[in-house]
Amino acid sequence: MSAISPIISPIPTTVIRHPSERLSKCSLTPLHGRPEITFLSAAGEFRFDATGFILLVVDAPPLTAADAGHPLLLLDSTWRLLPKLLRRIDGAPVARSLPAVPTAYPRRSKIAEDPAGGLASVEALYLARRLLGDDDPSLLAAYHWREPFLANLAAFFAN
């Protein structure tokens, strides 16, 4: 695994949740109260100007350390509802994708198939911030599948 130089302060991160996202099952819930993370709900007529934010999406150019300096925008939703959430985003975000690291989260969707590189929200947040130079293992402290995810990550970057 390549060494990533640490950054001085945590990357400002905005999490926008689909209103149907169940907080009791959300992998990001333990991160409420962290000063660098803002949580918003996309309820009602919600709109968000994402100009200048890095927006994590599938099939975009890969996220690299060269993207550091931008705040991070994470959309928290089931894959099936994600298109509705994306329609609430305005402006000109910088679209980036994450490498296809296998998730450790046990998926059980009976409605729709998740993309092959799809991660749990906390996994995506940790990986994105790590790639941007903000390797903060405390993001995963309360994540039940922390150790299997870190093992998946180590195996992926070892190849």
Over residues 47-100, the pLDDT tens digits come to: 999 999 999 988 899 999 999 999 999 999 887 888 999 999 999 999 999 998
Beta-carbon contacts of residue 69 (< 8 Å; ≥ 6 apart): none
Say yes or no to pLDDT of 9 above 80: no
Q: What secondary structure letter does DSSP report for 78?
A: -
pLDDT at 2: 47
Instruction: Indicate the domain borders of the chain.
Output: 13-105+114-158
Residue 69 CB-half CA count within 13 A: 3
- pTM given for the model: 0.86
Which of 3-12, 86-95, 97-106, 117-126 is predicted with the least confidence, judged by mean pLDDT? 3-12
